Amino acid sequence: MFDAEQLPETGEGQAKPLNDLLQKIAASKGCETKAGPGKSGCGSTGTESTLPPEIWEKVKNHPCYSEQAHHHFARMHVAVAPACNIQCNYCNRKYDCANESRPGVVSERLTPEQAAKKVFAVASTIPQMTVLGIAGPGDPLANPEKTFKTFELVAQTAPDIKLCVSTNGLMLPKLIDRLCQYNIDHVTITINMVDPEVGAKIYPWIFYEHKRYTGVEAARILSENQLRGLEMLTERGILCKINSVMIPGVNDAHLVEVNKAVKARGAFLHNIMPLISAPEHGTVFGLNGQRGPTAQELKALQDACEGDMNMMRHCRQCRADAVGLLGEDRSDEFTTEKVMAMEIDYDLEARKAYQAKVEAERDATQAAKADELAKLAGENSDIAIQIAVATKGNGRVNEHFGHATEFQIYEVSTAGAKFIGHRRVDLYCQGGFGDDDKLETVIRAINDCAAVFVARIGTCPKEGLHKAGIDPVDRFAHEYIEQSALAYFKEYLEKVQAGGIVHVARGDADIRQGAFTAV
């Protein structure tokens, strides 16, 4: 807990353009969602009880399509697709596709055969790895032979692994039949605009049907193919997620229109990601000083777009060769050299048995959350707080403060505990001692939170957090996150009601912008 006097001054509130934007978004609520095969009003927070059985079956073990699943199930990417057919102003082609990866990341490129062996190696070592995605380093559908060959090889040996692809959408209408042939039932399309005038500010050129197009014409062709491709996919019952990069002053207000357009075409999930932009990325936006959104600007847009189609908030902008749970990266354990030397035993039954245990753990997490929420029944308060959590996965508070490379953020109110995002941070612990500069960056990253839950924390960072008005809490070590957050919130409300503390809205927080070369 904290005293009101310890709190830093609250920011002056949201900038005017953002308020205008929110009004516009509120007006867009209730827009038509055309139902169709494979679609549902629920998204990444959907559960077994809220989703149709056939949709639940598709999302229950997919860490990107189900927020619950992302605490327990892993994905992997193989970097088999180097070429790209468009140019985005937030991308430097020296690095991985920035539509799914953070800028500045370079993945190890593989042939389809190497990729397939890597998939079997990872699946044998990490039985909770349920999804293979191809997301770069360029555009998978600009490299159809390599992409489809990889899927074909994997499907032959590992039929239990879900196949997933992420694309800029330019080639979708032309490749839709081949895509269906390979049983790919999750497709992500990055759609940043539905107005070519906006698109011209994001895409300087595209290469289509042996010809280079520029400006508004390029954006128009891209947009038409993206929306047509989305329609064709949903007509065929393929679950579609839309990624959009939020670029303040360029497409932030316009993403409302994008949200409406993709909802109307049956998209399952919308993932609005922050632009990550810094000069060292060498991108057009990085070099011209284009900023990314703050944490609260991003949240406000996600909240306002959240209607019939839920928003994905747990995306980690993974690298094109990522391996492991979202937020962790085990790709170093599976370099080509190591994989080629591995003896692989692909044991389907052992994988199924392990995954059944993981599902039981997930069900226990949900039951504990429901029990705790029942204790808040009858409380009548409009207070909501945010809590940052250090976790290694499994839905538990199980990471030390100093070892955390990210914090998961939950919003807690009488309505429940809801995952609303994550914040990447510099490691505080530098091998035996804490770094005060790093503590500053951690505090800026979670400055909108009232508390931080950790498995363990030292005296120095505790004091720093207290001074910043953030309550460091280690008494829920190894407990379930959401159950703990609700228990904390109940005590918080009781203290507010008893006059022990004064609830004050927190300020904004930073989304880290620098280049990432690690996870």
Which uninterrupted H or E stretch holds 340? helix 336-340
Choice from 66, 99, 188, 365 touching ligand SF4 (CB under 6 A): 99
Strand, helix or coil at 7? Answer: coil
Contacts with ligand SF4 by CB under 6 A: the residue count is 11
- Judged by beta carbon distances under 5 to 8 A according to partner kind, the member of ligand CLF, ligand SF4, none in contact with residue 130 is none
Per-residue contact track with ligand CLF, 287 to 316, x per CB under 6 A? Answer: ----------------------------xx
Residues 6+ apart with CB under 8 A from 75: 62, 63, 64, 129, 130, 131, 132, 133, 164, 318, 322, 326
- Judged by beta carbon distances under 5 to 8 A according to partner kind, the member of ligand SF4, ligand CLF, none in contact with residue 139 is ligand SF4
Residues 6+ apart with CB under 8 A from 303: none
Contacts with ligand CLF by CB under 6 A: the residue count is 18
- Judged by beta carbon distances under 5 to 8 A according to partner kind, the member of ligand SF4, ligand CLF, none in contact with residue 88 is ligand SF4
When asked if residue 103 is in the footprint of ligand CLF (CB under 6 A), the reply is no
Q: Which is nearer to ligand CLF, 319 or 444 (CB)?
A: 319
Q: 225 near 154, Cβ under 8 Å?
A: no
When asked if residue 75 is in the footprint of ligand CLF (CB under 6 A), the reply is yes
Distance CA 465, CA 448 (A): 12
Q: Which is nearer to ligand SF4, 98 or 123 (CB)?
A: 98
One-letter amino acid of 478: H
Binding residues among 152-181 for ligand CLF as defined by CB under 6 A: 164, 166
Q: Which is nearer to ligand CLF, 88 or 318 (CB)?
A: 318
When asked if residue 135 is in the footprint of ligand CLF (CB under 6 A), the reply is yes
Q: Which is nearer to ligand CLF, 122 or 493 (CB)?
A: 122
Residues 6+ apart with CB under 8 A from 50: 42
Q: Which is nearer to ligand CLF, 130 or 294 (CB)?
A: 130
CA 120 to chain centre: 25
Please, what is the minimum distance in Å from the beta carbon of residue 59 to ligand SF4?
25
Q: How far is CA 268 from CA 117, 148, 231, 252, in A?
A: 31, 23, 12, 21
Instruction: Enter the tokens of residue 472.
Output: 């460091």
- Judged by beta carbon distances under 5 to 8 A according to partner kind, the member of ligand CLF, ligand SF4, none in contact with residue 135 is ligand CLF
- Judged by beta carbon distances under 5 to 8 A according to partner kind, the member of ligand SF4, ligand CLF, none in contact with residue 188 is ligand CLF
Instruction: Enter the tokens of residue 270.
Output: 């919308």
Q: What share of the chain is helix, strand, coil (3-state, %, to 5)?
A: 40, 15, 45
Q: 423 near 446, Cβ under 8 Å?
A: yes
Q: 98 near 138, Cβ under 8 Å?
A: no
Q: Which is nearer to ligand SF4, 321 or 471 (CB)?
A: 321
Choice from 42, 55, 98, 452 touching ligand SF4 (CB under 6 A): 98
When asked if residue 81 is in the footprint of ligand SF4 (CB under 6 A), the reply is no
Which uninterrupted H or E stretch holds 500? none
When asked if residue 89 is in the footprint of ligand CLF (CB under 6 A), the reply is no
Distance CA 242, CA 251 (A): 15
One-letter amino acid of 410: Y
- Judged by beta carbon distances under 5 to 8 A according to partner kind, the member of ligand SF4, ligand CLF, none in contact with residue 263 is none
- Judged by beta carbon distances under 5 to 8 A according to partner kind, the member of ligand CLF, ligand SF4, none in contact with residue 326 is ligand CLF
Binding site for ligand SF4 (CB under 6 A): 84, 86-88, 91, 97-99, 138-139, 168
